[in-house]
Chain A
């Protein structure tokens, strides 16, 4: 099984700041990686797929990068609605593992 190691587990930042979340796969996943945002009590929402492609309707302040086993999600100029939890996900093959999540909080 492909393990997804996500860091940090939590992050405190101010409005307008830029933050980066990392995800490390235990083997090459050939950019078949997604990022999701989840707000309390809500379902996860797809943000980025294929490591760097923005899903429909996602603001351009979100960006994804990486290749092979190392991937990152960057959020520029944090807005109030961005404070949420974020998860990476291996979309290559079952079992479709998620990272453990990053909770982004307002400083």
Chain B
């Protein structure tokens, strides 16, 4: 069955870099897109960016200068890296799947809660 699972740190120091891995199963990264979505505590959902099935990426301009998304298709993994973390980056980070078009998120990981500490 389709599954996505995020793994990453609980705590990141201010100004440091966040790295999270999304490991997927039950589908191919060359057939579906994988997105990153985050949610600060008590707030709404924010789309961060996508790894398209063809290997290209797209980013929310709010993060563009410090966010990088990559993948390893042989390991069925998608990676998020974001540098220069601030306290308002404290959030739950989700990876989610969409078909090639349109971009609806039909499966989600359980998310990883990341706290940025000073």
Interface residue? A87 (CB, 8 A) = yes
In the complex, are the beta carbons of B35 and A96 less than 8 A apart? yes
Segment of A14-22, A42-50, A67-75, A76-84 engaged in the interface with chain B: A42-50
Closest to B94 in A: A43
At the interface, is chain B mostly helix, strand, loop or mixed?
Answer: loop
**Contact-size category for A:** 20 to 34
At the interface, is chain A mostly helix, strand, loop or mixed?
Answer: loop
In the complex, are the beta carbons of B102 and A36 less than 8 A apart? no
The verdict on A44 contacting B47 (CB below 8 Å), with A91-B103, A91-B104 known, is no
Segment of B15-23, B67-75, B108-116 engaged in the interface with chain A: B108-116
A93 to chain B: which residues have CB within 8 Å? 103
How far is A60 from B102 in the complex, measured between Cα atoms in Å?
23
Interface residues, chain A, CB within 8 Å of chain B? 1, 32, 34, 36, 38, 43-46, 49-50, 55, 87, 89, 91-101
